[in-house]
A and B are shown apart, each in its own frame.
Chain A
């Protein structure tokens, strides 16, 4: 009980500090991912806001993957739905902000229930494949630019005329978008906590551990899995909305491709699936490293490096992929697993066995 209160206090302090970042004009050389080495520079705030968004999406995804034990390869479907439905409603149809939000919510909810009901008919690897196929179908659909709605490959810029001034894409508003992203993350964290601590959350974990035993208790695992699927879909769509507000353009390769799905998976596995804070840390590490490596590669001195060093370092995808492989091989359970093992060692008890549950 007190441990939980302690981590709540710690989380609260962290959030408060992060909320103050836009007001702090400190000069910090080297460590910041933007080209200007000032803490509240637009570039830095944007990267941090991206961290918040993907931390939220990763938390939602982990409800499905880490807690319920379902490997979905389709979170991008719902992230993309959030991006595109919101963008189209505002930009193409000129709806009001509230109407666009409502439309996005309804479309996501219906889509999640329908696709979830179909995909959850199969389990294990087949479930992963079906969700992947749906995600690809979604990708092809937005690439196709039906009725000139999505803009296809060229993308769809968000028309900011229908947005309140504070949220419109102007650079001076990065600060408010930063706060919005932080609010999104805190909200997601709270909702996910409440659900996982409820009776439903305990059934989800039971489904992961032993589905038959849940059935023996007279509960239908299907319904609970659908709840997890829908919750993580809604969270992903919410992340999509904040993303399009922040970035301002929807491009299929960035918001609807399998690359994004894999990124989310990498974040969760780096941080530690099935842990309260692991996915958040994983998302921060992933987004920060990706952006920082791009910054390093853009340094003028970088071009003078020999090819052996320059080629790998210029590709965040290579370094993140390699890091991911090392974690899977040597750090089961990601950061959260490593911390749990370190704690267990200090308490000189036998090491807990977190890793990826159900991975046997």
Chain B
């Protein structure tokens, strides 16, 4: 099995704080890996560094390309779709404009996206800033699925959503994972269990645990790593 994402000894320093201190992790093609850890340990920064959105050192490879020095738009065009944290949609743009902005291939799959999120079809002319939190998250995920890219990077899809929406969204991501490599940051362990095959746990900017998703059932280990009971 080939490697889709290969991060080696990743360091990030922002505003004088050494946030990532040598993170290494791999995601194989077709695999779903969940990135776990307490708040503020560097999960979001890892994803942003992968996308080229923060200055970084170390090595980042996507497929067979070394993208460490690439700008974000070239990394994305390799086929890496990104759903940022806090359902970061363009609030001044309409839903339709948000999707149009994301078009990068000749035939974007609008039908597929609207099939997954029928609600968005009626709302294409509505300003994204006036949507509910759940609808905004749908726009953010739809934007990432439009080009049917092989790799999907998702930052806390369930954060702040009502339980019903979380399960709807998890269903969608589960369907997508059948054909897509995924690296997902998630605090909701039920979501992680449904999606991921492997987990990577970060603490204070370094990887402290790598293992199969079954490790979540080791309550003692999880309490030690995440400070929660699984």
Contacts and interface: CB of A to CB of B under 8 A. Distances in A.
Direct A–B contact present (CB less than 8 angstroms): yes
Contacts of B16: 209-210
Contacts of A209: 15-16
A210 B13 CA distance: 13
Contacts of B15: 209-210
A210 B15 CA distance: 7
A202 to B, nearest CB: 14
A222 B15 CA distance: 20
B92 to A, nearest CB: 20
Grouping DSSP codes into helix (H, G, I), strand (E, B) and loop, the B interface class, with mixed when no group exceeds half, is loop
A210 B17 CA distance: 10
A283 B15 CA distance: 31
A209 B14 CA distance: 11
A209 B16 CA distance: 8
Nearest to B15: A210
A29 B2 CA distance: 75
A209 B15 CA distance: 7
Interface string A174-213: 0000000000000000000000000000000000011000
Contacts of A210: 15-16
B52 to A, nearest CB: 16
B29 to A, nearest CB: 36
Nearest to A206: B16
A165 to B, nearest CB: 56
B93 to A, nearest CB: 24
Nearest to B55: A360
Interface in B1-54: 15-16
A211 to B, nearest CB: 10
A304 to B, nearest CB: 52
A209 B17 CA distance: 11
Interface string A205-247: 0000110000000000000000000000000000000000000
A209 to B, nearest CB: 6
A263 to B, nearest CB: 32
Interface in B182-215: none
A245 to B, nearest CB: 45
A230 B16 CA distance: 28
A8 to B, nearest CB: 30
A233 B16 CA distance: 30
B159 to A, nearest CB: 23
A210 B16 CA distance: 8
Interface in B87-146: none
B128 to A, nearest CB: 27
Nearest to A358: B15
Nearest to A209: B16
A268 B81 CA distance: 45
Nearest to A360: B55
B82 to A, nearest CB: 22
B16 to A, nearest CB: 6
A193 B157 CA distance: 52
A228 B2 CA distance: 58
Interface in A281-313: none
Interface string A107-127: 000000000000000000000
Nearest to B17: A210
B12 to A, nearest CB: 13
A217 to B, nearest CB: 14
B81 to A, nearest CB: 28
Interface in B133-191: none
4 A-B pairs closest in CB distance: A210-B15, A209-B16, A210-B16, A209-B15
4 contacts: A209-B15, A209-B16, A210-B15, A210-B16
Interface of A: 209-210
